[in-house]
Structure 1
Amino acid sequence: MNIYKILIYLVWAMVISAFVGGCTVITAIKNDWNGWFGGLPSLQSLERPEADLSSNLYYADGEEIIGSYYRHNRTAVSYNELSQELITTLLVTEDIRFTKHSGIDLRGLLRAASGILTFQFKGGGSTLTMQLAENLYGTSTVNQGSLYSNRKVGQLITKIKEWIIAIQLESSYTKEEILAMYLNTIEYGENAFGIQVASKTFFNKLPSEITYKEAAILVSLINAPTRYNPTRNPENALAKRTEVLYNLHKYDKIDKESYDSLVVSDFGLQFKVADQDQGPAYFKFVVRNDLMKWCEKNGYDLYSDGLRIYTTIDNRIQEYAQQAMKEHMDTLQYIFNRHLQGRMPWIDGDGNEILDFIDMTIKRTPNYKQLVKRYGVGSDSLNYYLNLPKKMTVFSYEGEIDTTFSLVDSLKYYKQFLQAGFMAMEPQTGHIKAWVGGIDHKYFKYDHVKQGKRQPGSTFKPFVYAAAIDLGYSPCFPVVDAPVTWVLEDPANPTWTPQNADGKYTGETMTIRRAMASSVNSITANIMQKISPRAAVDMAHACGIESELDAVPSLCLGAGGDVSLYELVGAYSTFVNQGTWTEPYYITRIEDKNGVVLEDFVPKRREAISEKTAYLMLHMLKGAIEEQGGTGRGLDWSLKENNDIGAKTGTTQNASDGWFMGVTHNLVAGAWVGGDDRYVHFRNWSLGQGARTARPIWEKFMLKVYADPRTGVEKGRFRKPTQPLGVELDCDHYNGVNTQVDSLGVGVDNFQDELENIDF
């Protein structure tokens, strides 16, 4: 046998040995012999690779996103949603031969071969498809067998796994799909996962709008999102961008003139990290609870399945609600601080400061509970850490403040802020249009629309009067403003006589419309005696109040149970919706990541009261605007002109809670203002009443909404019932001589001026 034949046999033997050896290794890795290799993803997962996708919450327009729920902030896009300049920049930088290989680039493989054979593996040869394998399945970090204890052997096994997965991906997907999947799975830094979020974060653009200048930055971030971050490390980012731009010129994608121009240009950033505390943040977190229950019931993961949740929230109306609250609460907080004159706002029924308030309150905080768990109750260490000063950033209406506070100092500071809630709803459909749960979600997480419940004060009175009207009473029914005494089954307090807000009884005869308009307690108590507390409770529940209410005399003043603003707005909407209660709701449909509708939602509806009773209650509510002494008379004239408005204020004892409910023919909205704790309130009842604390929010909101025709909210009249009322509505001749002062008819613009004359 000559030497030539021997060489041929040797070559074939090497080829066969390499083939057999390679097949053996691949088989061993696939089957994970003896747990050496850690195994591969299942065939099913290779054919249908998934990356965690953010679930997005959309405004009513179906386009603008309210916020997202995610473990990694990622929204997938298709190949057709990528600009060609972005695709080109990616390929010249990461894989210029991408369209010519089938997952493994032979040239790159040969470059890496010497390193593999000598166990001096330094990488190289990774195609985009192989990188996608790592992004999807974490080949270098998960499913590691015992052989990974040797780092170099582990690197070799990882590379082989990526080859296997890349070939499978290439056989299952088109090149375009692989490119899109790759860009969707990349982490770009600043909590931006995927090209959609990255484009929005760094340039406030869609991926389809990205140019070479912007693409060079985004592609630079792929392998080192911190090192090449243009906001954190601009020098590194500039050098890397120059390298990427040179690749575009090197491969004739841009000419020399374009390169020279781009390389000296600025970054063109419009940088804004997605902020979970912006926009309707309270709404987003309240809705999350409902979505988690829905996902558990239907087998979805809210944080990874890329659901599309469409809501009823109108982006413009929501913005005006947020503006109205901020504008008023900034002013009101100034007034609150001024009237305290350095005194603490937590006071008891006698107006005295509760000296141990902070000591009691701090025990409910998570920080206190963690310290107790670590050091024990009453320990010196507990007291030390509670009072240890440390640097922190705190909320203020003028902007965030850097300061040094202990945990006790911080609690004392934050408890002095007044809180608020606001909700607006379309009564006919049940669509919630705006939801503001507090003054700043970043620093005050508690939602005061649905989560929080407080005594409704006089905003409960319409249900007392609605029960009376349903029993045949007329808005013109006359009653004397005089003491009403209840006999109670309580030996310690055998009788109860409710007083009017000013502590006086005029002896005047007035209609129940005027009495409700000016919130005369004695007359509401008189009517409650006639109809019974149980009738009022039943009416409230029929109209949509779901919270438990006690059928007690004090309920006529709203002191028989706590309710939410969410419930009150829905219940008042029953009057506008001709007696039909429509559940306030905020989710219209849920789709999967591909746009397939998983469920459509419709609100619950029920006939609560007759349309006649509903219309008469609207007439009663209009009394707040039309009757002398009405608590809504101070509203801006432009709101009342050529427009039907019904309203009711509410203030609980000691002015702990201020309420205002306003109804129009196509929008019902309500506001609540008070402290997070009931002990925190104005010392002066006049300052803390709902007409002063809550009404201005509604007024400012409606002025903004009416001024913008794009909201679709227009002035109009309440719809009349189809059947004749058979009830007199002109009640003027039933009212006696008015001896009350129209003390609540104060417009928003006059609020601060009037404070100069108030004794704080």
Structure 2
Amino acid sequence: MSAVILLLCRCQEKAAKTMKNISKPQWRKISKYVFWAFVALSGLFITFMLSIYAGAWGSIPSEKTLSDLNYQKATEVYSADNVLIGKYYLFDRQPVTYEQLPANLINALVSIEDERFYQHKGIDYPSLLRVAIKTILLQDQSAGGGSTLSQQLVKNLYPREHNSKLGLVADKFREMMIARKLESIYTKEEILQHYLNTVSFGDNTFGIESAALKFYNKPASDLSTVESATLVGMLKATYAYNPRLFPDRSITRRNLVLLAMARNNHLEPSRLDSLQSLPLALDYREFDHDEGIAPYFREEVRKQLKRWAEDEQKNGREYNIYTSGLKVYTTLNYKMQQLAEAAMTEHMQKLQQQFEKSYGSKGPWDTDQELIKKAVRQSPVFRKLQESGLSEEEVMDSLSVKRSMTLPTWKGDTTIMASSIDSIRHLMKFLNVGSLGIDPQSGEVLTWIGGINYKYFKYDHISQSKRQVGSTFKPIVYTAALEAGVEPCKYYSAREVAYENMEGWSPGNSGDKDEAYLNYSMEEALSNSVNTVAVKVLEDAGIRRTLELAKKMGITADLPAQPSLALGTGSVSIPELAGAYASYVNDSRPVKPYLIRKVTTGKDSLLMEHTPDDPPAQAFSEQNRQLMLQMMKATVNKGTAARIRSTYGLRNDLAGKTGTTQNNKDAWFVAVSPELVHVSWVGLDRHEIGFRSTSLGQGANAALPMYAKLLSSMNNDASFNSITRARFRPPSDKVSRLLDCEPVKKDGFLKRLFTNPDKKKKKKFRSKE
């Protein structure tokens, strides 16, 4: 210490001698230079500050602009039971009010980011002096930036645009200027509110509400002290302190925030150790458009919302579904959708294994080279390469190169070495689904599953697909026959017929030869889905009358005016089929399924609300509605859908119809109950591929279990009692009498003796109009 003092004394003596040797004229000259240097530097600084104020380094918003802060807000999508199921956004942000911010969150933020927040007016001069000394004089790069929360809010609202050192200095002064303006316009509480609504938490997540929902699956208002400290701790470095990616770093940073809270008297010291020892306990939920609940439903809602916004624009009202912060309230039943997806996954995982096992190593995706080439040529990657100028051979060569690739399986995604052609072949073999549940009185969509995996299969089999409906069309044919005056106890021979005026077309049944001697009542024929009888019923109903009835029942599809109509060769969308079946429990009136109940602003001002159309006219009589319902109840109780009772043991009041199309391409099941109509379809995206056998691919095996498993789960949840315990109204006495007949009559001995079951009866198809 004495040596240092001696050195300083000698330096002072030397400086004094040097000053003595400077003459007065020289001293005046030096002073003059120093003065003009100071003036020049001051002038440069003033000019620099004026250039910032003038907007040369970025505009300085006016007080009017700052007093009306508008930032991009995510549109929120809610289920019917007010669960947030998705968001549409460019920036994932959901603004909240100051009152929705818990005190522990505010205290955590102020303690770690701006201890003198309530004392300064936007600029913390002591903090700036500390940073200047540490950074400039002591070269301590960890000294921080000295920005107040008000300045950080400015940076959130008006991001920096310069990378040079001078530009960064200009940005800093510009932020100070704007911060001072903000402090004169807003209260401290309002500044905190705006800050927490705009600050980034990484991963395109902005604002505390979105961060709370993402990391803890709860609104910001419900954050605990530890959770608040964790999220506030991220603000120093959103990636480095991300609790999902780097939990240890996040805990260290969180504990530092808790310590700062204790130091600033916002946390009792006695609680500090216990809180710092707690785990992160994340409940991470990312609002990824490809993931989460009901992705196909959310995408359809997005499309419909976009069309609504475009219509509003024509009327002079501007709404952007990604930035306007709308709230969309849908019809979806969140809990039922969860159960439906679980039922679908359980069933399809097992069915896929059985399906692949049935083909073994001879599946079309392995052996049918023409089909594989066709699929490759239709793929987006093939078309993109071809559009770049490559020949087909060059494209095929390029698509044959193996690389690391992630592909879906029912056990989860797997990463393997595969080519693009391998991936196309892999996806070709997946069975897909369409599953829709609606309220038969209102048309509200309660569940919507458009496919097995939205990430890999974007095609929605509910909103985009029309497939042959098979035997699920037969109830419409039978209803038309009843409307034409056919008695429900009329008997129809099951014997196969070759229709001469239809080029010998001869629909058959899957039963044994003895069926040729049987005569079915309408109820028995429908419940057992007898094809030969369905065509004969169509003759009595008339093709024209049947098509007219289908239209009255809400089916707008272009159906074939051919006898094959009776077997469901027409292609119909799932929503139209569901709406048509609803008429059997909705006073003979079809419904049109809909998804969106209402749209509001972020502050809940109503913008749009679903208005039901005037009820359509009754498509058929009340008596025939009851007759058809009884026939479809028989389908469930003793017919093709009887495994609902025998295999799954379900005793709910149910009616329904199974369906299977030619070559087992499409499997259907429509379930009807007093409060729910549910349609299930299973098949492959490539219609060229079907199930290997009818036993595997029939509607009762491939489609029905999805609904049965869903209903079984609903039966175990009392919240669904209004649906599961609902009962059909009993049929009238007249309807009961009309159905009171033997279900099957067998031909007499002599007729059987002179009838060859192997020989088809020949006749002309004559449709009665």
Compute the TM-score of the two structures, normalised by the length of structure 2.
0.84
Q: Residue 118 of structure 2: SS of its match in structure 1?
A: helix
TM-superposed deviation, 1:543? 0.9
Do residues 154 (structure 1) and 167 (structure 2) align? yes
User: AA paired with 2:342?
Assistant: Q
Which position in structure 2 is the counterpart of 1:611?
Answer: 622
TM-superposed deviation, 1:590? 0.8
Which position in structure 1 is the counterpart of 2:387?
Answer: 373
TM-superposed deviation, 1:66? 1.2
Higher-Rg structure is 2
TM-superposed deviation, 1:622? 1.6
CA distance in 2, matches of 1:500, 1:310: 47
Distance 1:105 1:487, change over 3 A: farther
Which residue, out of 382, 395, 413, partners 2:426? 413
Q: Say which is worse superposed, 658-667 or 196-205, in terms of deviation.
A: 196-205
TM-superposed deviation, 1:161? 2.9
TM-superposed deviation, 1:642? 6.3
Identity %: 35
Deviations 1:580-611 (A, max 9, x none): 22211121111111111111113433124133
TM-superposed deviation, 1:673? 0.6
CA contact (8 A) 1:480 1:507 kept: yes
Q: Residue 419 of structure 1: SS of its match in structure 2?
A: strand
Distance 1:399 1:165, change over 3 A: same
Q: Residue 432 of structure 2: SS of its match in structure 1?
A: strand
User: AA paired with 2:377?
Assistant: K
TM-superposed deviation, 1:725? 5.5
CA contact (8 A) 1:333 1:418 kept: yes
TM-superposed deviation, 1:123? 7.8
TM-superposed deviation, 1:246? 3.0
CA distance in 2, matches of 1:171, 1:475: 83
Which position in structure 2 is the counterpart of 1:601?
Answer: 610
CA contact (8 A) 1:187 1:194 kept: yes
Deviations 1:41-96 (A, max 9, x none): 4655422222222211111112x111111122222222122221111010011112
Distance 1:355 1:124, change over 3 A: closer
Which position in structure 1 is the counterpart of 2:712?
Answer: 703
Distance 1:153 1:115, change over 3 A: farther
TM-superposed deviation, 1:293? 0.9
Alignment of 1:39-118 (within 5 A): 39-41=59-61, 45-62=65-82, 64-108=83-127
CA distance in 2, matches of 1:482, 1:516: 15
User: AA paired with 2:379?
Assistant: T
Which position in structure 2 is the counterpart of 1:756?
Answer: none
TM-superposed deviation, 1:249? 2.9
User: AA paired with 1:127?
Assistant: T
Distance 1:170 1:501, change over 3 A: farther
CA contact (8 A) 1:346 1:680 kept: no
Which position in structure 2 is the counterpart of 1:514?
Answer: 524
CA distance in 2, matches of 1:624, 1:694: 15
Which residue, out of 676, 689, 693, partners 1:680? 689
Deviations 1:167-217 (A, max 9, x none): 343344332222122112122134432212222333334322333322222
TM-superposed deviation, 1:343? 1.1
TM-superposed deviation, 1:366? 1.5
Which residue, out of 301, 310, 319, partners 1:300? 319
Q: Residue 520 of structure 2: SS of its match in structure 1?
A: strand
User: AA paired with 1:48?
Assistant: D
Deviations 1:337-385 (A, max 9, x none): 22112211469xxxxx6331111101111221222233512243x2332
CA distance in 2, matches of 1:88, 1:710: 41
Structure 2 residue runs without a partner (length 5+)? 1-34, 313-317, 749-769
TM-superposed deviation, 1:738? 9.9
TM-superposed deviation, 1:675? 0.8
Which residue, out of 357, 378, 394, partners 1:364? 378
Which residue, out of 262, 268, 271, partners 1:249? 262
User: AA paired with 2:325?
Assistant: G
Which position in structure 2 is the counterpart of 1:714?
Answer: 724
Q: Which runs of 4+ in 1 moved over 6 A?
A: 17-22, 24-27, 112-118, 120-123, 638-642
Distance 1:180 1:498, change over 3 A: same
Distance 1:547 1:100, change over 3 A: farther
Distance 1:21 1:258, change over 3 A: same
Q: Residue 656 of structure 2: SS of its match in structure 1?
A: strand
Q: Residue 635 of structure 1: SS of its match in structure 2?
A: helix
Q: Say which is worse superposed, 359-368 or 631-640, in terms of deviation.
A: 631-640
Distance 1:79 1:18, change over 3 A: farther
CA distance in 2, matches of 1:702, 1:738: 41
Distance 1:29 1:346, change over 3 A: same
CA distance in 2, matches of 1:213, 1:717: 51
Do residues 527 (structure 1) and 547 (structure 2) align? no
CA distance in 1, matches of 2:734, 2:192: 69
CA contact (8 A) 2:667 2:681 kept: yes
Compute the TM-score of the two structures, normalised by the length of structure 1.
0.85
Which residue, out of 531, 536, 547, partners 2:546? 536
Structure 1 residue runs without a partner (length 5+)? 1-10, 142-147, 348-352, 740-760
Alignment of 1:227-238 (within 5 A): 227-238=240-251
Which position in structure 2 is the counterpart of 1:744?
Answer: none
CA contact (8 A) 2:478 2:541 kept: no
Do residues 287 (structure 1) and 301 (structure 2) align? yes
Do residues 342 (structure 1) and 361 (structure 2) align? yes
Distance 1:242 1:700, change over 3 A: closer
Alignment of 1:628-707 (within 5 A): 630-636=639-645, 643-707=652-716
Do residues 174 (structure 1) and 226 (structure 2) align? no
TM-superposed deviation, 1:322? 1.0
Do residues 547 (structure 1) and 557 (structure 2) align? yes
CA distance in 1, matches of 2:119, 2:500: 93
User: AA paired with 1:528?
Assistant: L
Do residues 624 (structure 1) and 635 (structure 2) align? yes
CA distance in 2, matches of 1:239, 1:346: 53
TM-superposed deviation, 1:387? 1.2
Which residue, out of 178, 185, 192, partners 1:165? 178
Which residue, out of 118, 124, 136, partners 2:157? 136
CA distance in 2, matches of 1:464, 1:719: 24
Which residue, out of 283, 292, 295, partners 1:278? 292
Q: Residue 201 of structure 2: SS of its match in structure 1?
A: strand
Which position in structure 1 is the counterpart of 2:211?
Answer: 198
Which position in structure 1 is the counterpart of 2:440?
Answer: 427
Distance 1:234 1:624, change over 3 A: closer
Distance 1:196 1:19, change over 3 A: farther
Q: Residue 707 of structure 2: SS of its match in structure 1?
A: helix
CA contact (8 A) 2:650 2:712 kept: no
Which position in structure 1 is the counterpart of 2:340?
Answer: 321
CA distance in 1, matches of 2:450, 2:392: 36
Which residue, out of 452, 458, 465, partners 1:452? 465
Which position in structure 2 is the counterpart of 1:753?
Answer: none
TM-superposed deviation, 1:460? 0.9
CA contact (8 A) 2:627 2:735 kept: no
User: AA paired with 2:661?
Assistant: T
Distance 1:472 1:40, change over 3 A: farther
Distance 1:377 1:355, change over 3 A: same
Distance 1:160 1:623, change over 3 A: same
CA contact (8 A) 1:430 1:603 kept: no
Q: Say which is worse superposed, 671-680 or 369-378, in terms of deviation.
A: 369-378
Distance 1:45 1:497, change over 3 A: farther
Which position in structure 1 is the counterpart of 2:6?
Answer: none
When the two structures are aligned, how many residues end up with a matched partner? 698
